[in-house]
Structure 1
């Protein structure tokens, strides 16, 4: 037995025949376990099992067949293949250790892939040089010297061109922005859709602007997605006249801002006086994506709100006399449809107000007691009710010739809210004035009573259907 074990081929053969299957079996189970856990170490283990160990076994067999003559051709080839696979295994393992389990925000997670690829290239070149020197006996000293001198010459020649690229790569390492962030750069403003080693692609809404990394690295820009507060804010500046009361202006603008669809519900809007009758409105929104649409809606609705409040946005004429002819003409149509006399018409015209609403504005809230009846003269509105969970349910639509606030006379709460479906104009007649008209015109009283009952029934049916 001792003579058998003393043979040069015995232990290598034992390792290949007995040890290799056992190790392969263990590595197979380990690879399956890591794959199920989606671990980054699964790939190095599979590389070790499928390629490195079989190549090692092949090298041992070839080496023994050729009587351990390391200078034999097949032994050199087998050793070269084995050495190259070992390099790949070490690189894969290092990648799994350093970057596979990198924590969010760490330097390993921020490191650009081009730095990793360059590091791999350098290690592979060094490894190949070692293999050539160890296995094939090649003198690589002169080659290294030549490559080093050539690299210095090339680096000095292209330093002006390579400098911005290096600056851009260092910027990517710092990661001041990520894909999906919104940037405000000197050359473009928009959302980052792609980042590579050469440039950043920004979707501006009118196409994709491609900005070299070096240009961003050497200039200043604003990351709109990284805010110090709880949210991003859309701001707009509005101008009124010195005759407008600041308290009324502020309350009107706050009411408009709080009703904007993109506003974050649990964060308040802000209105600041800037002097010279200028005001800045700040609306908290979830993303810069909503900035343009929010500012557009704010400016659009602010004009209508200023008209209703008697304010002079941008110096607009908002005197009551401006609407007197409009009110007279449309209330005359209303009076004709209900058979009202000239005296009733005069009362309504004297006390009537022209109110304008933008599309999407809430004209009347649910569960309130209205103080006036509004006759729709332009546009269209939707009647809505809300379930116990706050879900909005449509009851029906109203158009020109219809009216809202029918419970103003009975002083009952309305069950449905009213939202403008388009830019809408109402002629509003307050409770006291319409009450005097109704007492002298039973037909109008019956029409209002019937409308109240019909709308209550429609609201009840809509809520029952939503359950």
Structure 2
């Protein structure tokens, strides 16, 4: 009797399930713990295997091998169908992890569009579904395909717009004119591509809104990819200056201002073109080359802001659209309130307090003031100094740069402080630091001749400048030493 029981198939499978299932679950559980400790992506398909596939397989074997239910039984077919669903799920997850999740940015896997992955998964699911219907439910696939053909015709007519979007998306997928992260212009709409789906392209606009463009509309219309074929893009801006301003001088000032704007490339360098003579001004077109369109508005804003300060410093005129009558000939005088302000600043310097006030008033004719915007470079390292700079308003940062481009701050100065003190030695002395405006800045410039006159009239002022020069030299040397450490 015992030999008869042992020889029964159900008896063997019973012990296989009693012993094998717990041992397999124990091994898989230990494997999952190890993968979690190592933070391996492979833990996801192994967890699916442990939680879904193996328990479902055990139930299927229990029904078929132990209880010996017929394979045609509804319960058995349902369990087998669920088992195949879990197996397909585990296999797709494993393929995704092995091929795409750990792909390097420069590899071909990282370049595969999400829409193509969705299509591939859908195709594999269709194949798996066909196998389950054929092997488990004994379905005649030929008859099913015939029925699906008729049904597809009806569905296609009802969903022709949606299907058109899908096939347009497939065409975009293979042509690949846009990718995630690209900036595109469609009509009057500009946005960054967030995702390319079956039905549409999702754009994030400048206002952080989500703009959805159907694939069919995108396929029928013309659009510009602002990020292709390379990230290089030229941003243009037009500005007008007075007929009294020589065009070559205006173009040189605009080009210099563009070069000094952060984010504008030096290669290719900015260009400036004279584009026409208008009723009130000469029109100029400026081209700024940038490598990130997402920063174009910020860069253009900074450049346009700097134009105003550059125009003020170089006495250029941005005319109003009105008729102006010019009567004054020569250099425009400094406004009376500005004269009083400059005289007050000079008299506030202790070493100049003993100088004849009439002399200080006369110096106003040889003094210039200049304005700078936040972030502008007032003096570049190794640039020739125009004279002694006195801060009337604002703050500046002094810094040095080594040959590799690394910078080190030296000192921060504010209203009433000096910089460019080396100008007291030689008329063509070069600056050993760069000076950057930390906020809107106005400076008073004493040219070298005026400065030499003040030094002769005030030995105390000369001594003060000498001490200041020595202390600044030590600060610069300390900053340079920290750069080379």
Does the pair score TM above 0.5? yes
1:316-465 matched pairs, under 5 angstroms: 321-325=331-335, 328-334=339-345, 336-337=347-348, 338=352, 339-341=354-356, 344-345=359-360, 348-366=363-381, 370-377=385-392, 379-386=393-400, 390-399=406-415, 401-411=416-426, 414-453=431-470, 455-456=472-473
Residues 386, 445 of structure 2: 8 Å contact kept: no
- Counterpart of 1:163? 164
Asked whether the equivalents of residues 199 and 210 of structure 1 are also in contact (C-alpha less than 8 Å), the reply is no
- Structure 1 position 255 matched with structure 2 position 256: yes
Structure 1 residue aligned with 2:75: 77
User: d(CA) in 1 for partners of 2:228 and 2:67?
Assistant: 66
8 A contact 1:244–1:311 mirrored in 2? yes
Provide the rounded CA distance (Å) in 1 between the counterparts of 2:452 and 2:148: 99
RMSD of aligned residue pairs (Cα, Å)? 4.6
Q: Quote the Cα distance in structure 2 between the aligned partners of 1:319 and 1:119.
A: 82
CA distance in 1, matches of 2:93, 2:111: 10
Q: Does 1:126 align with 2:141?
A: no
In 2, Cα distance between equivalents of 1:369 and 1:147: 83
Quote the residue 2:204 is aligned against.
203
Where 1:307 maps in the other structure, the secondary structure is helix
Deviations 1:368-394 (A, max 9, x none): 5523123434x2232413375833325
Distance 1:330 1:425 in 2: 12
The CA deviation at 1:101 is: 0.8
Q: Which blocks of at least 5 consecutive residues in structure 2 are unaligned? A: 277-281
**CA deviation vs aligned residue, 1:161-184 (integer Å, no higher than 9, x gap):** 542344245435655444443332
Please give the secondary structure, in 2, of the residue aligned with 1:370. Answer: coil
TM-score by length of 2: 0.73
Give the C-alpha shift of residue 298 in structure 1: 0.9
Gaps of at least 5 residues in structure 1 are none
In the TM superposition, what is the alpha-carbon distance from 1:271 to its structure 2 partner? 1.6
**In 2, are the aligned partners of 1:238 and 1:278 still within 8 Å (CA)?**
yes
Distance in 1 separating the partners of 2:126 and 2:164 = 20
Larger displacement relative to structure 2 (242-251 or 26-35):
26-35
1:431 Cα deviation (Å)?
0.9
Please give the alpha-carbon distance, in whole angstroms, between the structure 2 residues aligned to 1:18 and 1:397.
83
CA distance in 2 between partners of 1:296 and 1:446 (Å): 44
Q: TM-score, normalised by structure 1?
A: 0.75
* CA distance 1:163–1:300, change in 2 (3 Å): same
Distance 1:358 1:83 in 2: 71
Question: 1: distance between equivalents of 2:228 and 2:481?
Answer: 45
Tell me the secondary structure at the aligned position of residue 386 of structure 1: strand
1:153 Cα deviation (Å)? 1.2
Instruction: Supply the distance in 2 between the matched residues of 1:451 and 1:67 (Cα, whole angstroms).
Output: 101
Aligned to 1:299: 304
Is the 1:372–1:405 Cα contact (8 Å) retained in structure 2?
Answer: yes
1:349 partner SS:
helix
Please give the alpha-carbon distance, in whole angstroms, between the structure 2 residues aligned to 1:46 and 1:328.
Answer: 81
SS in structure 2 of the partner of residue 321 of structure 1:
coil
Q: For 1:100-143, what per-residue CA distance to the aligned partner results, in whole angstroms no more than 9, with x for missing partners?
A: 51565569822515434543553454345325643xxx778776
The match for 1:89 among 87, 95, 107 is 87
- Larger deviation: 23-32 or 77-86? 23-32
| Closer, same or farther: CA 357–6 of 1 in aligned 2, 3 Å | closer
Distance 1:56 1:371 in 2: 87
Number of corresponding residues? 454
User: Contact (CA 8 Å) 1:381, 1:418: kept in 2 or not?
Assistant: no
Shift of residue 395 of structure 1? 1.5
1:115 counterpart residue number: 119
What SS does the corresponding residue of 2:334 show, helix, strand or coil? helix
TM-superposed deviation, 1:445 = 3.2
1:3-14 correspondence runs (5 A): 9=9, 13=13
Deviates more, 1:253-262 or 1:380-389: 380-389
Structure 2 Cα separation of the partners of residues 234 and 241 of structure 1: 24
Does the C-alpha gap of structure 1 residues 237 and 15 become closer, same or farther in structure 2, counting only changes over 3 Å?
farther
In the other structure, the counterpart of 2:314 is 309
CA distance, structure 1, for counterparts of residue 370 and residue 449 of structure 2: 18
> Is the partner of 1:211 in helix, strand or coil?
strand
Displacement after TM superposition at 1:204 (Å)? 2.5
CA distance in 1, matches of 2:135, 2:380: 82
In 2 relative to 1, CA 25–328 (structure 1 residues): closer, same or farther, beyond 3 Å? closer
How far apart, CA to CA, are the structure 2 residues paired with 1:57 and 1:455?
A: 82
Tell me the residue number matched to 2:279.
Answer: none
